[in-house]
Amino acid sequence: MTKRFLSSLMLALGLVVGCVSVQAEEGGLPPSGANVRDQASLQRGAKLFFNYCVGCHSLKFVRYSRMAEDLGLSEKEVMENLNFTGAKFGETVVSHMPQALAEQWFGKAPPDLSLEVRAKTADWVYAYLNGFYLDPSRPVGWNNAVFPNASMPFPLWELQGIQTAVKKPGGEEVEKLELAKPGKLTPEQYHQAARDLTSFLEYASEPAALQRHHYGLWVLLFLAVFTLLAYLLKKEYWKDVH
């Protein structure tokens, strides 16, 4: 009976993993490699967000104090290096761009990014950060291969450089992107920067995930010990039953 249960469990897990793999392949997106348990990556991603993104985008569900605790930063480090709006340490991350001005420039206010990864997955965000290319036909001069006709300018162009699109014959679909002008970072360095930023946004979408992963190990250990005790108890109760 136990062997049959374990076999069924392994089969179910295999089917779940298989479905996830098929969905990833069908999506055609490169794996982001984001890791919310890599604290150094989260710190680098936070630096990128607050230097390049917070001018337009908010993280209204993330508090500076909570971010400092989770990322291993002191209050002084956060307030001096990541807080450019004059917000208090216990307040949430809000963009310093007035909504009326944002609507005037972009047609609508830039979205809050607190739940962006949960809504579109880390792979999508990573591909989006790698998908910008120069397009003079667009009002802001940029377009995106992952999200066509995006109204957002490319804030990281100085780091990545300028990409141009190679279109498929007889259509407007982008076949590939080519780096026409290098940026401050090499392609490998920029991919890591995009991965760090994606990791930070994944953390922002669920800050409790860090604690959940930590407590999860203890829960699994408890269940393993409890299962062993339950098995020994069962053996003791049924030892005289034939």
CATH of the domain at 59: 1.10.760.10
pLDDT digits (tens, 9 = 90+) for 63-99: 999 999 999 999 999 999 999 888 999 999 999 787 7
185 or 172, higher pLDDT = 185
63 or 214, higher pLDDT = 63
Find the domain containing 63 and state its range. Answer: 26-206
5 assigned to some structural domain: no
**130, 193 Cβ separation under 8 angstroms:** no
Q: What is the mean pLDDT of residues 121-142?
A: 95
Q: What is the mean pLDDT of residues 138-150?
A: 93
pLDDT digits (tens, 9 = 90+) for 2-23: 445 445 445 445 544 444 443 4
55 assigned to some structural domain: yes
pLDDT score at 179: 97
pLDDT score at 220: 84
In the chain, the N- to C-terminal Cα span, in Å, equals 16
**114, 54 Cβ separation under 8 angstroms:** no
Mean pLDDT over the full length of the chain: 86
52 assigned to some structural domain: yes
Q: What is the mean pLDDT of residues 212-221?
A: 75
Q: Is 57 annotated as a binding residue?
A: yes
7 or 164, higher pLDDT = 164
CA dihedral sign, ordered 195, 198, 199, 200: positive
State the Cα angle at 35 between 156 and 58, rounded to 5°.
45
Q: Is 19 annotated as a binding residue?
A: no
Crossing angle between the packed helical segments 39-52 and 187-205, to the nearest 10 degrees: 90
Q: How confident is the model at residue 214 (pLDDT cuts 50, 70, 90)?
A: low
93 assigned to some structural domain: yes
Q: Which of 45, 66, 12 is nearest to 125 (CA)?
A: 45
185 assigned to some structural domain: yes
Q: How many whole angstroms separate alpha carbon 42 and alpha carbon 38?
A: 6
170 assigned to some structural domain: yes
Q: How confident is the model at residue 28 (pLDDT cuts 50, 70, 90)?
A: confident
Q: Name residue, tokens 């999860």.
A: 216
Q: What is the mean pLDDT of residues 207-218?
A: 74
Query: How many domains does the structure of the chain reveal?
Result: 1
Give, as one character, the DSSP assignment of residue 69: H
102 or 193, higher pLDDT = 193
50 assigned to some structural domain: yes
217 assigned to some structural domain: no
Integer CA distances (angstroms), 30 to 5, 61, 224, in order: 36, 28, 36
86 or 25, higher pLDDT = 86
pLDDT score at 9: 44
